[in-house]
Structure 1
Amino acid sequence: MSDTEQGRREAATAARTQAPMALLDTVREVHTPEGVALQLPAAGPVPRAVAWLIDLGIRGALLLAAAIVLGLLGRVGSGVYMVTLFVIFWGYPVLFEALAGGRTPGKRALSLRVVSADGAPIGWMASFVRNLMRTVDMLPMGYGAGLVACLADPWSRRLGDMVAGTLVIHAPRDRTLPTALELQPQAPAVPLQAHEQIAVIAFAERAGTLTPGRQQELADVVAPVTGARGEVGVLRLLGIANWLLGRRA
């Protein structure tokens, strides 16, 4: 077995290990323009259905409250209620997905997120299209078409996701890069191979959970890349991770 093939198998194994286990979940790998391989753990129909039920309960509660208040206004209140019904039914998912990082309250509770197929944040048009397509996914009843599409698609996408070019993924809320975000992006002094880029980004993801001593110990291992050791080496390594993620000054 060649080193290249062995590396690919190890990367695939690591991706499966890191991805949350859920029914019919899998990992989609996409590559950024900088050549960084991103692992997108796609969410299966079960967690998506639970998130949808949570959102349905919230929307139902909002409509009930609106009905009680607007019911006191007679015919005028009935007209306003119909407008409110439309806004909550159609606007609720679009507003949350476009303004809250692809997360409705239900998706946030299940640590799910809607993103573009390439891993980029979802935009207004994509969110509108995927939610408009729910009218097709619901056919003939109980999201029958959407469920069949999820089961047939390798990344559990319903028809709305396929048309809009979106993907629902597992995105734990604690996976952030607060330290790296505050640093100036810095290009690596030497070209990095794909597995080396993944290792640098993984270090940045874990940096906040490591002690300063452990950070410096790991950064010293790649001192030839950063050209520094100790605390300076840690800062430069985080800057390189920032650059690999596509952020620029």
Structure 2
Amino acid sequence: MDNHLPFETPEGVVLQLEVAGLVARSLAFTIDLAVRLGLMVALSLLLSQFGGLGQGIMLLAWFVLEWFYPVLFELLNHGATPGKKAMGLRVVMGNGATISASASLVRNLLRTADFLPFLWLSGIVCMLLRTDSRRLGDLVADTLVIYKPAAEKAPELPKRRPLMPKKPLNVEEQRALVAFAERSHLLSQERCQELAAIVAPDDMPPPQRVEYLQQLAAGLTGYQVTRL
């Protein structure tokens, strides 16, 4: 099953959001449940020493942990509770934006509706019937649980002796040189030489043209790509 949803940003860039399914979300919920239970047990042991006052504080703490634990983490930790973070998940708005306070509050308060009639049956059925795996709380709050995009590794330039251009280059020309060097290992030798022939000196042999442009890119990145 394809669990990728296309999302177009205001700038016109199409992103693919990878929606988390029932299994991953259930594991994240189990981890969060264990964390909450551990905190509740620790608080109970600590506050039991203070009699009636301790019991009152304990009940208040349990209420906060049950209802506001996920809200606080979703707002302060980029949409991820400890359980979601452990599973590589995060909560976002339906358009891919950062989750808002009102949406986080609504989706978590409606966990009661997802629990009905027992054992989260409504929420599970809703998630299984939808391609975006939203439960009832997600539908009302317009939120999605997605896999956190993996950080892309910056491309590496070929190791060449840095060489500065003989004349100033504008920012577009600088970026074109760096982009060529970054992608040169993905292109065939013939294609690299074909592209290098467009800008490299004509008196250079084809293989040297590619290396020459790579040297220029190494020099530019050493001093950063700036507008000249």
TM-score (norm 2): 0.71
Structure 1 partner of 2:153: 206
Q: Deviations over 1:77-111 (max 9, x none)?
A: 11101110111111110000011000000001100
**3-state SS of 1:68 partner:** helix
Q: 2:156–2:182: 8 Å Cα contact kept in structure 1? A: no
Q: 1:25–1:44: 8 Å Cα contact kept in structure 2? A: no
Q: Deviations over 1:161-195 (max 9, x none)?
A: 111111001115xx33xxxxxxxxxxxxxxxxxxx
- The alpha-carbon distance between structure 1 residues 25 and 66, as it changes in their structure 2 partners (threshold 3 A), is farther
Q: Deviations over 1:22-75 (max 9, x none)?
A: xx6601111011000011000000000000000000000000000001111111
Q: 2:79–2:99: 8 Å Cα contact kept in structure 1? A: yes
Give the one of 95, 103, 113 matched to 1:126. 103
Q: 2:157–2:182: 8 Å Cα contact kept in structure 1? A: no
Supply the distance in 2 between the matched residues of 1:133 and 1:64 (Cα, whole angstroms): 25
Amino acid at match of 1:124: A
Q: Deviations over 1:195-219 (max 9, x none)?
A: xxxxxxxxxx331xx3232875235
**3-state SS of 2:18 partner:** strand
Q: 2:127–2:135: 8 Å Cα contact kept in structure 1? A: yes
Q: 1:130–1:161: 8 Å Cα contact kept in structure 2? A: yes
State the 1:153 CA deviation: 1.1
State whether structure 2 residue 60 is matched by structure 1 residue 83.
Answer: yes
**3-state SS of 1:167 partner:** strand
Supply the distance in 1 between the matched residues of 2:90 and 2:125 (Cα, whole angstroms): 21
State the 1:230 CA deviation: 1.4
Gaps of 5+ in 1: 1-23, 177-204, 237-249
Q: 1:25–1:43: 8 Å Cα contact kept in structure 2? A: no
State the 1:152 CA deviation: 0.9
Gaps of 5+ in 2: 160-177, 185-191, 199-215
**3-state SS of 1:212 partner:** coil
- The alpha-carbon distance between structure 1 residues 58 and 164, as it changes in their structure 2 partners (threshold 3 A), is same
Q: How many residues align?
A: 179
Supply the distance in 2 between the matched residues of 1:53 and 1:32 (Cα, whole angstroms): 33
Supply the distance in 1 between the matched residues of 2:38 and 2:13 (Cα, whole angstroms): 43
Identity rate, percent: 44
Structure 2 partner of 1:162: 139
Supply the distance in 2 between the matched residues of 1:89 and 1:34 (Cα, whole angstroms): 39
Structure 1 partner of 2:171: none
- The alpha-carbon distance between structure 1 residues 129 and 102, as it changes in their structure 2 partners (threshold 3 A), is same
Supply the distance in 2 between the matched residues of 1:206 and 1:28 (Cα, whole angstroms): 23
